[in-house]
Amino acid sequence: MGILNITPDSFADGGRFFDPQAALAQARALAAEGADILDVGGESTRPFSEPVPLEEELRRVIPVIEAIRAEIPLPISIDTYKSPVARRALEVGANIINDISALRFDPQMAPLAAEYKVPVVLMHMQGTPRDMQVNPSYKNLIAEIKDFFRERLYFAVSCGISADRLILDPGIGFGKTWHHNLELLNGLDAFLDLGCPLLVGPSRKAFIGHLLDGVPPDDRDVGTLAALAMAVLKGARLVRVHNVAWARQFLTVFNAIRQAQPSGPQ
Query: What was the pLDDT predicted at 219?
Result: 96
Whether 95 has a pLDDT exceeding 60, the answer reads yes
In a domain, 263, yes or no: no
Note the Cα 43 to chain centre separation in Å: 13
Domain hosting 184: range is 2-256
Confidence label for 46 from pLDDT (cuts 50, 70 and 90): confident
Mean pLDDT over 160-187 rounds to: 97
Q: How many structural domains does the chain have?
A: 1
In a domain, 227, yes or no: yes
Closest CA to 75 of 43, 105, 37, 126: 37
In a domain, 262, yes or no: no
Q: What is the pTM of this model?
A: 0.94
In a domain, 235, yes or no: yes
Whether 149 has a pLDDT exceeding 70, the answer reads yes
In a domain, 261, yes or no: no
In a domain, 95, yes or no: yes
Strands ordered across the beta sheet of 96-99: 2-5, 38-41, 76-79, 96-99, 120-123, 166-169
Instruction: Say which CATH number the domain at 187 has.
Output: 3.20.20.20
In a domain, 154, yes or no: yes
Whether 189 has a pLDDT exceeding 70, the answer reads yes
Whether 7 has a pLDDT exceeding 70, the answer reads yes
Residue 123 CA to residue 103 CA, distance in Å, equals 9
Q: How would DSSP label each residue in 140-165?
A: SHHHHHHHHHHHHHHHHHHTT--GGG
In a domain, 62, yes or no: yes
Confidence label for 49 from pLDDT (cuts 50, 70 and 90): confident
Catalytic positions, written as ranges: 205, 240
